[in-house]
Structure 1
């Protein structure tokens, strides 16, 4: 849901920026790689050190590259299948770096096993959610939507880390376990969507 509404609103800002970067000679793929490198580096630097508020702000800023590269591809007419694969792969790297850094902080720095377990589940389910969609599309099926798409996952966890960094009690644990539930529901939703897509295609095969 946020992917639809947030991107529609932000596109009014990012489309001119994307067009300007294309005129400067930059490529969407280069921006994707730079954004991924900065986001992952920020997460791996700040979160394991316990600097959750600063890390949240920096990571959130660098995540905007994920929107700008799409605007650049549209503005320059340079969208490609390779660019789509590169973007999806870089998204998985950022997801892994962010949640992996938080798992390290929770288990090694804070020695909070319960919080670490929740974050580890978030890390795994984030990858599975994306994998279900990719695998479905590779087989000509659909697995769109779900309660916790990437935008929702980042919103929930970064609000939790940001407020925890400001000293607000319990909010991070609530965010983590809320995201666990949302992610598990999303996996189920996508598998149901894949099954429905499969059944629809199977029914259609018998009709000219």
Structure 2
């Protein structure tokens, strides 16, 4: 949902950076891989250990490279099909590492089992939401939009971890419960979007 409102503003900030990196001879796929590796390592090292503030900040910084590689692709006149598949694959890997690490912490050192269960719902639900869109597009249908997309998942998950790390009780639990509910709603929205697209396809 945030993509509809923030994309233009974000692009104005990231496009100059993307052009600069391309000018230095760096490819967008390189940035994608480095950002993914950094986000995964920070997720699985810092979050399960209870270093929520540091982990949330570092993961956020690496996740932001996802905006930079897109700007680099635009600077090159458009991304490649391989780059698109690589980017989507890396997104799923980061999502899995982040919410898996949050679930691990919540169910062990954090002693917040409800947050752990909600994190698992977010992990699985987020993967399915993305799969529905990809599968629909593979058969010529559309499944755009939804209440909670990847940007919202990352913002709520990382913000909840950060605030919880500052000592606010149940901050992560509340954030993940809201996110889990929103993810389930989004899955329903995506399925309905595919159904509408399928009904319209024969007339088109």
TM-score by length of 2: 0.96
Q: Does 1:82 align with 2:82?
A: yes
Equivalent residue of 1:142, what SS? coil
Q: Does 1:190 align with 2:197?
A: no
Partner of 1:13: 13
Shift of 1:5: 2.4
Q: 1:9 to 1:74 in 2, by over 3 A?
A: same
Q: Structure 1, residues 115-149: CA drift from partner, whole Å, max 9, x if none?
A: 21111111100100100000000010000100000
Shift of 1:89: 0.2
Partner of 1:133: 133
Partner of 2:66: 66
Gaps of 5+ in 2: none
Measure, in 2, the Cα distance between the counterparts of 1:167 and 1:112.
Answer: 14
Partner of 2:98: 98
Partner of 2:147: 147
Measure, in 1, the Cα distance between the counterparts of 2:78 and 2:177.
Answer: 40
Q: Does 1:168 align with 2:168?
A: yes
Q: 1:195 to 1:203 in 2, by over 3 A?
A: same
Equivalent residue of 1:202, what SS? coil
Partner of 1:120: 120
Measure, in 2, the Cα distance between the counterparts of 1:5 and 1:81.
Answer: 26
TM-score by length of 1: 0.95
Compute the RMSD of aligned alpha carbons: 1.1
Partner of 2:157: 157
Q: Structure 1, residues 86-121: CA drift from partner, whole Å, max 9, x if none?
A: 000000000000001111111232343222111111
Equivalent residue of 1:109, what SS? coil
Partner of 1:181: 181
Gaps of 5+ in 1: none
Measure, in 2, the Cα distance between the counterparts of 1:163 and 1:108.
Answer: 18
Shift of 1:78: 4.8
Measure, in 2, the Cα distance between the counterparts of 1:15 and 1:26.
Answer: 14
Partner of 1:49: 49
Partner of 2:31: 31
